[in-house]
Amino acid sequence: MSTTSETTISGPAGSAAEAGRSTPRRAERRFWPTRRERRNILVGLLFISPWLFGFFAFLVYPILYTIRISFQRVPDFGPATNIGWANYQRLLDDANFSNAIFNTFVYTALAVPIGAVVAMVLALAMNQPLGEIPIYRVILYLPSVLPVFALSFIAITLLDPTQGIVNEFLRLLGFSPPNWFGSTTWAKPAIVAMAQFGAGQIALVYLAGLKGIPQHLYEAAMLDGAGAWNRFRNVTLPLMTPVILYDVILGVSEGLQVFTQAFIITGGGPANSTNFYVFYLYNNAFRYSGSGGYAAAMSMVLFLVTFVIAALVFRTSRRWVHYEMN
């Protein structure tokens, strides 16, 4: 009896105890790293310390300093004085500031979509199955290697109203060429056209995107009777939208900061038609007396505008960017 009862009682209890011992305990959450983890973190920080120094010294500190002086009047000599929101209120009454915003938005609205189309055309040309295509790729990419100030001097020579090659060619065709950089109508389009010399760089990014499109999609489209245009519209273009999104974000950022062309070629003219935002900011910071705080306020507005536009582009990209192949 005793043996039976012991067996009956100890059987389930023993199995439960064994099950409890065999079940692994949950790992306790640790809020503090161990001594070895702290050592690894310190070693990692030591290796990236040069980058951290540059990040804080040349990015974080200038941003914080700019925010501070945007609320100050900064004279050429002597200490700065706090003036609150006066610099930002001055922006609302400055006609040159409004003109600079208009010029910059017009340039960006023209340069970004035209640049995307030119880059796509160049990428499609670079993607052709030709034996000498590497030579053509180098030729199409070379103009983007030139710095903008060098391209500016080249553009001055090519678009010279009396001796420029472009105007001479237009005269041979029977057209009356304009004074490109001396006309309020043609100055901005001429600078937009200059920007396309750098399209070869982003065209390489487009070319990488084209290489990533599976060929069986084109073969299936051809079997369905799709022509070249339909294959581009229904296969190439949807799968290239992530690359186009990258190009649009980069182009908007660069377009809002256009400066060199106005600085070298037009000086903001004629009649302030190329007085772009960053060019006007530069003049306030380094040419106009006592306007350092005002220039800092302009730079903060530019930062906020760029951030808002980028956020809107990312927000709307959900409707037209395709990351998966269906």
Say yes or no to pLDDT of 11 above 80: no
**Which pLDDT tens digit goes with each residue over 64-78?**
999 999 999 988 888
Residue 131 pLDDT grade (very low, low, confident, very high; cuts 50, 70, 90): confident
Which tens digit of pLDDT belongs to each residue from 34-44?
Answer: 888 889 999 99
SS (H, E, C) 74-87: CCCCCCCEECCCHH
Alpha helices in the chain (DSSP H): 2-22, 35-47, 49-55, 61-69, 86-93, 95-126, 133-145, 148-158, 165-172, 187-195, 199-211, 215-223, 228-231, 237-239, 241-255, 260-261, 277-286, 292-320
pLDDT at 4: 45
Q: What is the dihedral of CA 323, 212, 117, 226, to 10 degrees?
A: -90
> What are the chain's domains?
95-320 (1.10.3720.10)
**Predicted pLDDT at 29:** 65
105: closest CA among 317, 255, 315, 324? Answer: 255
Mean pLDDT calculated for residue range 251-268: 94
In this prediction, residue 237 carries a pLDDT of 93
Report the candidate in 192, 193, 199 with the shortest Cα–Cα distance to residue 119. Answer: 199
Please choose, from the candidates 144, 122, 143, the residue with its C-alpha nearest in 3D space to the C-alpha of residue 133: 122
Give 81-104 pLDDT, tens digit per residue.
999 999 999 999 999 999 999 999
Per-residue pLDDT at 49: 94
HEC sequence for 164-177: CHHHHHHHHCCCCC
Looking at residue 293, what is its pLDDT?
94
Which band of pLDDT confidence, cut at 50, 70 and 90, is reported for residue 26?
Answer: low
28 secondary structure, DSSP code: P
Question: How sure is the predictor about 5, in pLDDT bands with cuts at 50, 70 and 90?
Answer: very low
pLDDT of amino acid 96: 94
CA 203 to chain centre: 15
pLDDT of residue 179 exceeding 80:
yes
The pLDDT, as a whole number, for residue 8 is 44
On average, the pLDDT of the chain sits at 88
Best-predicted range by mean pLDDT (15-19, 20-24, 91-95): 91-95
| Count of C-beta atoms within a 10 Å radius of residue 126 | 21
pLDDT surpasses 50 at 2: no
Q: Rounded distance, CA 120 to CA 43, Å?
A: 45
Query: Residue 105 CB: number of other CB atoms within 10 A?
Result: 16
**Spatial separation of the C-alpha atoms in residues 274 and 282, rounded to whole Å:** 14
Is the confidence at residue 1, as pLDDT, over 50?
Answer: no
Q: Is the pLDDT of residue 31 over 90?
A: no
Question: What is the spatial distance between Cα 258 and Cα 269, in angstroms, rounded to a whole number?
Answer: 14
Rg of the chain, C-alpha, whole Å: 31
Angstrom distance (rounded) from CA 160 to CA 273: 18
Q: What is the pLDDT of residue 80?
A: 87
C-alpha distance from residue 247 to each of 114, 118, 119, 123, 204 (Å): 11, 12, 9, 13, 11
pLDDT digits 0-9 by tens, 263-301: 999 999 999 999 999 999 999 999 998 899 999 999 999
User: For residue 206, what pLDDT is reported?
Assistant: 95
What average pLDDT does the segment 125-149 reach? 88
Q: What is the pLDDT of residue 297?
A: 96
Confidence of residue 132 (pLDDT cuts 50, 70, 90): confident
Q: Give residue 3's pLDDT.
A: 46
